[in-house]
Amino acid sequence: MTVLHLADDGEAADLAAFLSRLLHYDRGAAVRLQAAGTALAVFGRPPSFEVLAIRAVRLSKPYENGLDVTLDVTVSAGELLESVDEAAATAVVPAAVTGPPWAGVLPPRGGWRRETGLPAPGELRTAVGAAVAEFRSRTQELAPERRTRAELDRIGREIWSRTIGETRLPVRAVHAAQSLGFLRPRGAPGQGGAGEPGDLGLLSSGAWLRLRTPYGSIAVRRAGLGALDVSVR
């Protein structure tokens, strides 16, 4: 049994919240875990958004059961959530599962550079709210015979593929960040402090863009670049 010792009960609560949100969008969700030393990265892909979500978790000590340096395994998000003990700040790594295709293609570890033009957090949340309202308005205006899955998907693709401000970041990436709890203000439940996230930023590396927040990151492949600059691990 491989036991992860999380830094504190707050880390355990945030990990559980992240897994719960993933499972809200996909009851059969899998996550890929990568750890080295006292740093754990949890990768998931909420299907509604077509992005990769990454939650960094601090460990209080390296994991047990003879794993010396690294951990890299894909597991059931539901089983991992069930194993989280918030009071003890521990989680048990479930048995490995056959990973979905996305789990074999992750963003690069390094080579990230900061992109300019990202609006302030409040403006990002406003943009997401406006996109959600537009989607609801346009779909509600459809005649019953036109309210098909294909038409709803078409409207959704048009709205969520728009870019934010002067950046290349699609609105769906910001929507995913907000829906997964990555874009909440400091001082929101489960976090100390007050005000807006201090290290919100937009980064790029090859074909990837990454929206980084203090609570997690959203990575997305830029359209039209095919399979260039991927990291298969």
pLDDT value of position 176: 95
For residues 19 and 110, which has the higher predicted lDDT (pLDDT)? Answer: 19
pLDDT of residue 222: 75
142-168 mean pLDDT: 93
Instruction: Write down the pTM of the prediction.
Output: 0.85
From the candidate CATH numbers 3.30.70, 2.60.40, 1.10.3470, 3.10.150, the one assigned to the domain spanning 2-104: 3.10.150
Half-sphere exposure for 97 (CA within 13 Å, toward CB)? 19
Grade residue 233 by pLDDT with cuts at 50, 70 and 90. very low
Show me where the domains of the chain are located: 2-104, 113-221
pLDDT in tens, 130-146: 999 999 999 999 999 99
Residues 6+ apart with CB under 8 A from 204: 112, 113, 115, 168, 210
Query: Quick check: 124 pLDDT over 80?
Result: yes
Q: Provide the 3-class DSSP secondary structure of residue 59.
A: strand
Nearest to 23 by CA among 12, 15, 11: 15
Q: Phi/psi zone of residue 114: left (φ > 0), alpha (ψ -120 to 50 degrees), beta?
A: beta
pLDDT of 188 strictly over 70: no
